[in-house]
């Protein structure tokens, strides 16, 4: 498990008008990736809610097997933002979606996702790789490999 504190990153609350603003603890939320329509989506939009961030690819058999579980979690937990980051091409993801129903957001990282995963603790760059972030954008837990229903449900209690 990796936890990043605001102090460790040197992030400071800054005054804005009458209130203060705190940036997300993990720098991953400063990035953006294209959605399937080609529009950049800022990951910062997900701060303020618990997030399950899943790195996957259409050619990864364990990734494909866990997609129905991720869809179930998305449907079952409306307060949880489930986000799929595809280390893949738009064509492959669109082809995949013709066979498997996914209603949570999928963003395309392409090969940029590999160094990002390594920054986030997945030194080997293997897939699938899942991170759980709390409401403040701090990593609460990570799972290397295919998710198991009982295990991920227990881990989600940390952030829900």
> What confidence tens digit (pLDDT) does each residue in 111-146 have?
999 999 999 999 999 999 999 999 999 999 999 999
Q: How many domains does the chain have?
A: 1
Q: How much is the pLDDT for 17?
A: 34
Q: How much is the pLDDT for 1?
A: 37
Whether residue 61 is contained in a domain is answered as yes
Please report, for the domain that includes residue 103, its CATH number: 3.40.30.10
> What confidence tens digit (pLDDT) does each residue in 79-101 have?
999 999 999 999 999 999 999 99
Whether residue 82 is contained in a domain is answered as yes
**pTM given for the model:** 0.84
Written as six digits, the tokens of 22 are: 């705190």
Enclosing domain of residue 63: 22-156
- The secondary structure of 5-26 as a DSSP string is -HHHHT---EEETTEEE---SS
């Amino acid at each position: 498990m990796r936890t990043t504190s605001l102090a460790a990153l040197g992030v400071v609350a800054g005054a804005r008008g009458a209130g203060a603003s705190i940036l997300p603890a993990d720098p991953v939320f400063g990035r953006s990736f294209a959605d399937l329509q080609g529009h950049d989506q800022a990951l910062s939009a997900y701060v303020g809610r618990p997030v399950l961030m899943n790195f996957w690819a259409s050619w990864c058999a364990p990734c494909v097997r866990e997609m129905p579980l991720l869809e179930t979690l998305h449907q079952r937990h409306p307060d949880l933002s489930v986000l799929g980051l595809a280390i893949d091409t738009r064509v492959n993801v669109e082809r995949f979606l013709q066979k498997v129903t996914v209603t949570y957001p999928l963003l395309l990282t392409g090969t940029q996702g590999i160094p990002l995963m390594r920054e986030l603790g997945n030194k080997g760059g293997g897939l699938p790789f899942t991170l759980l972030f709390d409401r403040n954008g701090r990593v609460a837990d990570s799972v290397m490999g295919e998710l198991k229903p009982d295990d991920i449900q227990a881990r989600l209690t940390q952030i829900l």
